[in-house]
């Protein structure tokens, strides 16, 4: 038998993403032992029962003991305190990555914890895959198949560490790419974070209208798809909104300006403007979907 990619993998935060990663690596045979960590012991017991992890600790410092691989799978707001807690207990040469939806904030947190140079084994990452469901029960081994994973290695990251994190994700069936944390945050502010905020904001607006109950009664298929992402975990999106503040404000301001222009065109009865915008949007969307082979 060949050596596993990772002999002992500690996953801190065995939820949808952390649990799915563990399951996928089990199936692919890429890992020796998996140690889970979280705050709710009941969830960890369940993860052992489901065969997702081998054992667990509710103490991150203990969980990373002797691990050659560490994955942080918590909401991004919790990552600084976890890095702080595990720092003195990390094995020499351990590879450390995360799955957070923002990258600049995770790198900034790591610099506050480790100083100006992070450990060479530290390679932040973000799998572009998920559902609106949360927790270990919602996890499944196929989540990452043919999905992208973005790695944002730091200047001080070891090339071997980046290759190891890449190899781990490729085992799950994902396609790995790299970019800078800043670029990552700008791209995902536009394609993921802003749409989530719009969906939350729309449902919130409708939920506070007088005719609330009626409004939802007549909401049809398009509305259901459009607002699906508003069923996502509020705590996770709270963390993301605060963590990616600058890139988000930039694209929100742009969007608010464009939306207001559309509003003005409706008020002025400017049909040419509306037709032009709708047509450009439809073409861009159809073209994107063709490429993504919906």
Ligand X SMILES: NC(=O)c1ccc[n+]([C@@H]2O[C@H](COP(=O)([O-])OP(=O)(O)OC[C@H]3O[C@@H](n4cnc5c(N)ncnc54)[C@H](OP(=O)(O)O)[C@@H]3O)[C@@H](O)[C@H]2O)c1
Output DSSP code: residue 189: I
- For the CB of residue 108, give the shortest distance to a copy of itself in the complex, in Å: 14
* Pairwise CA distance, residues 217 & 71, whole Å: 43
Q: From a copy of itself, ligand X, none, which one binds at residue 135 (CB under 5 to 8 Å depending on kind)?
A: ligand X
Q: Are strands 125-127 and 148-151 parallel, antiparallel or unpaired?
A: antiparallel
Q: From a copy of itself, ligand X, none, which one binds at residue 14 (CB under 5 to 8 Å depending on kind)?
A: ligand X
DSSP E strand boundaries for 136-251: 148-151, 175-178
In the structure encoding, which two tokens stand for residue 165, read together? 């994190």
CA dist 117 → 102, 179, 244 (Å): 20, 19, 22
- For the CB of residue 222, give the shortest distance to a copy of itself in the complex, in Å: 4
Q: Is the dihedral of CA 168, 173, 178, 183 positive or negative?
A: negative
- For the CB of residue 266, give the shortest distance to a copy of itself in the complex, in Å: 5
Q: Which residues bind ligand X (CB under 6 A)?
A: 12-18, 37-40, 43, 73-76, 78, 82, 99-101, 126-127, 130, 134-135, 233, 236, 240
- For the CB of residue 211, give the shortest distance to a copy of itself in the complex, in Å: 7
Q: Does 114 help bind a copy of itself (rule: CB under 8 A)? A: no
- Footprint (CB under 8 A) of a copy of itself, residues 235-254: 235, 237-238, 241-242, 245, 248-249, 251-254
- For the CB of residue 164, give the shortest distance to a copy of itself in the complex, in Å: 23
Q: Does 129 help bind a copy of itself (rule: CB under 8 A)? A: yes
Q: From ligand X, a copy of itself, none, which one binds at residue 284 (CB under 5 to 8 Å depending on kind)?
A: a copy of itself
Torsion of CA 135, 137, 138, 139, to 10 degrees: 90
Q: From a copy of itself, ligand X, none, which one binds at residue 90 (CB under 5 to 8 Å depending on kind)?
A: none
Closest CA to 147 of 185, 99, 183: 99
- For the CB of residue 235, give the shortest distance to ligand X in the complex, in Å: 7
The piece of 2-10, 37-45, 56-64, 199-207 that touches a copy of itself (CB under 8 A) is: 199-207
The piece of 38-46, 80-88, 162-170, 221-229 that touches a copy of itself (CB under 8 A) is: 221-229
Q: What is the CA radius of gyration of the chain?
A: 21
- Footprint (CB under 8 A) of a copy of itself, residues 172-191: 186-188, 190-191
CA dist 150 → 99, 166, 181, 282 (Å): 9, 9, 9, 28
Closest CA to 24 of 168, 178, 177, 133: 168
């Amino acid at each position: 038998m060949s050596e596993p990619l990772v002999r002992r993998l500690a996953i801190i935060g065995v939820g949808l993403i952390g649990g799915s990663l563990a399951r996928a690596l089990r199936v692919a045979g890429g890992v020796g032992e998996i140690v889970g960590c979280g705050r709710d012991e009941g969830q960890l017991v369940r993860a052992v029962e489901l065969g997702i992890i081998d054992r667990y600790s509710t103490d991150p410092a203990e969980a990373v003991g002797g691990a050659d691989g560490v994955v942080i799978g918590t909401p991004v707001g919790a990552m600084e305190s976890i890095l702080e807690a595990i720092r003195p207990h990390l094995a020499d040469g351990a590879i450390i990555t995360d799955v957070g939806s923002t990258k600049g904030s995770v790198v900034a947190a790591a610099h506050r914890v480790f100083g100006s140079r992070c450990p060479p084994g530290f390679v932040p990452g973000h799998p572009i895959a998920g559902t609106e469901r949360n927790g270990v029960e919602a996890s499944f081994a196929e989540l990452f198949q043919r999905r992208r994973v973005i790695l944002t290695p730091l200047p001080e990251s070891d090339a071997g560490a980046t290759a190891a994190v890449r190899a781990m994700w490729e085992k799950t069936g994902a396609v790995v790419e790299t970019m800078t944390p800043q670029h990552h945050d700008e791209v995902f502010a536009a394609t993921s974070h802003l749409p989530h905020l719009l969906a939350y904001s729309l449902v919130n607006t409708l939920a506070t209208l007088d005719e609330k109950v009626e409004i939802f009664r007549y909401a049809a298929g398009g509305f259901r798809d459009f607002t699906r992402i508003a069923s996502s975990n509020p705590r996770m999106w709270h963390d993301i909104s605060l963590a990616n503040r600058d890139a988000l404000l930039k694209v929100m301001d742009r969007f608010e300006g464009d939306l207001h222009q559309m509003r003005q065109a409706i008020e002025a009865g400017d049909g040419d403007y509306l037709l032009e915008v709708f047509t450009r949007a439809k073409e861009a969307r159809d073209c994107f979907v063709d490429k993504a082979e919906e």
